[in-house]
Structure 1
């Protein structure tokens, strides 16, 4: 009997992922502007899904207010860029500041449980929206733009935003993967399943949940900053809209709650649905709601959860596997 993490499927997955990342890095050199822009949107969706899944899927911190971090990430980028900081440096620095803010929020938010935490996050997002509206730079709901990006030529700017989104997605996925392979990652999943039982065996629930809360805050703020760079315009009601969290929930529910691969798969499905059906207007939103309901009823583990259960395939070496070896005669 041997215990291992890596399987031939996971080794193949990492090899293909490395090749895909290399190919994507070269896309701006030969693809059209529309393709670059759409891929940038896809990268942002993957970040959003992975960060919400980190909180809810692995930590049991179900939130309907993650637009708080998304909106503040964009707002902080606007503020720092207005102070004279390079816009791309402002995106990373702003996300770091929001990570610090999320640590402060965790001091009292993590004492809330279940529905209280979910509603509390939504309330914080609404308060942040109102506060941002009071900033003279933002001009209320009129909003403003990331003007400092105009210092770059349009072609160069699009290429830099594409690479920033790709690096952000790969970096955050790698960071989440590394955290999930640590004892803290295992502890977080134990807390999600039964916090009292985890506490009884020496796990520190508050410290472990805080780690994932701050990680999700940082990653979602990065996504908000990247979205701002992509569209340039900042209107508080758009960035602090609950629709962003609704999109995150949809992607994770469809792909597979609590599964690393599920968040990525869900983002791909949502991206495809948006690309093909967004022009149908209200029917598109009705379709998303109906699809989320059907998946919740028929495939509660999501599409990847169903695939993994039926096939036993594991692409990400997060847990341990026991392999029985037949003794040789």
Structure 2
């Protein structure tokens, strides 16, 4: 019996994904340091986009305050390195935990709001966090601070990479943080897929579509949305620590930038496809291509991004990936839940008749 075209297509896609994954892992061995740094920036934006897509696209939580978790994750990471002399890798994890800790009181406040009020509420909390960070004198106050010289070269594993690849310490550090970003992006995508395919993921999508109906069948919206909000804060905080470890300098305005860490992320998700797993990947690639092609044109670059975003919302409301998937029937990382097929052994329900008695 010949395999169906759909099975062949899925097998081909799996092989292509494996080949691409191996190429991305091996990239530091055959590409330049500049390309690795660019790919690191693309991966970190993808991580932020996947986390925001999980909130807005699947949980129905349109947050405009994700920069709070980026900034807190970065500042906690800087504090762990500068004040407590911890290894940068451990400090990044602690930064993620710091962002997760912020998400709990932030949720307590923001979850009392709905719709646009929720979005504005998260933005307000993020701005408060920025103002608080500017008062921390040990980390430079409003002018910020830099990591001690050579911090990234002292990370665990850099020496081994340097000896293996015969490269400088700085290039080995770039390769390590690139691999960490690649691993975090893969884990975020895989964990999102497994979660959304589970019963909790089905309940989460039911809450997004109709909260009252989901509650009527026993789904607890608050518990599920809070869990997603906290976990996305953890991933966003870890990503923030990674980004500013690479940058090596931090200021409140840079760490809590609504344009860099939220506006661009929303753009990526919208043009890629809100509420789809491959959407942020497609959007990140498109954004990276536009950035590389038009970044030198100043305000024209921002105007072009705005025009692309508006055009997508007007003529391809499902985003680039969502539109292509619906038009050509492409179903990568499917999230649909189908009812189990009836087997021959399973009994058929008997028809019952009701007679009225007088």
Structure-2-length-normalised TM-score = 0.85
Alignment partner, residue 50 of structure 2: 50
Structure 1 residues 109-154: Cα deviation after superposition (integer angstroms, max 9, x where no partner): 2221111110000000100000011111222232112323253621
Change (3 A) 1:12 1:218: farther
The 4+ residue runs of structure 1 with deviation greater than 4 A are: 6-11, 321-324
Of 200, 206, 223, which residue of structure 1 is paired with 2:216?
Answer: 200
- Give, in angstroms, the shift of residue 315 of structure 1: 0.5
Q: 2:294 & 2:45 partners in 1: Cα distance? A: 17
Alignment partner, residue 321 of structure 2: 304
Structure 1 residues 145-179: Cα deviation after superposition (integer angstroms, max 9, x where no partner): 23232536212211111111111111111111111
- Give, in angstroms, the shift of residue 322 of structure 1: 7.7
- Give, in angstroms, the shift of residue 14 of structure 1: 3.5
Moved more, 311-320 or 146-155: 146-155
Structure 1 residues 70-91: Cα deviation after superposition (integer angstroms, max 9, x where no partner): 1111111101112111001211
Say yes or no: does 1:151 pair with 2:146.
no
- Give, in angstroms, the shift of residue 261 of structure 1: 0.8
Structure 1 residues 182-219: Cα deviation after superposition (integer angstroms, max 9, x where no partner): 11111111111111111011100001101211122112
- Give, in angstroms, the shift of residue 8 of structure 1: 5.0
Change (3 A) 1:13 1:106: farther
Q: 1:175 & 1:242 partners in 2: Cα distance? A: 26
Q: Secondary structure at the match of 2:21?
A: helix
Structure 1 residues 35-75: Cα deviation after superposition (integer angstroms, max 9, x where no partner): 11011111111101111100001111111111111111111
Alignment partner, residue 278 of structure 1: 295
Q: 2:306 & 2:94 partners in 1: Cα distance? A: 35
Q: Secondary structure at the match of 2:112?
A: coil
Alignment partner, residue 114 of structure 1: 115
Q: Secondary structure at the match of 2:138?
A: coil
Alignment partner, residue 180 of structure 1: 196
Q: Secondary structure at the match of 2:336?
A: coil
The answer to whether the 8 Å contact 2:57/2:276 transfers is: yes
Alignment partner, residue 158 of structure 2: none
Q: Secondary structure at the match of 1:310?
A: helix
Alignment partner, residue 281 of structure 2: 264
Q: 2:8 & 2:78 partners in 1: Cα distance? A: 45
Structure 1 residues 210-267: Cα deviation after superposition (integer angstroms, max 9, x where no partner): 1211122112112211211221111110121110211111001100010111111111
- Give, in angstroms, the shift of residue 104 of structure 1: 3.6
Q: 2:14 & 2:38 partners in 1: Cα distance? A: 24
Q: Secondary structure at the match of 2:278?
A: helix
Of 236, 247, 250, which residue of structure 2 is paired with 1:220?
Answer: 236
Change (3 A) 1:113 1:11: farther
- Which runs of structure 2 are paired with 1:318-329 in the superposition (5 Å)? 318-320=335-337
The answer to whether the 8 Å contact 2:145/2:249 transfers is: yes
- Give, in angstroms, the shift of residue 321 of structure 1: 5.2
Q: 1:161 & 1:309 partners in 2: Cα distance? A: 36
Q: Secondary structure at the match of 1:190?
A: helix
Structure-1-length-normalised TM-score = 0.92
Structure 1 residues 260-290: Cα deviation after superposition (integer angstroms, max 9, x where no partner): 1111111111111111111111111111111
Name stretches of at least 5 consecutive residues in structure 1 with no aligned partner.
Answer: 1-5, 325-329
RMSD of aligned alpha carbons: 1.9
Q: 2:328 & 2:294 partners in 1: Cα distance? A: 31
Alignment partner, residue 269 of structure 2: 252
Q: Secondary structure at the match of 2:137?
A: coil
Q: 2:195 & 2:138 partners in 1: Cα distance? A: 38
Name stretches of at least 5 consecutive residues in structure 2 with no aligned partner.
Answer: 1-5, 156-168, 342-358
The answer to whether the 8 Å contact 1:10/1:316 transfers is: no
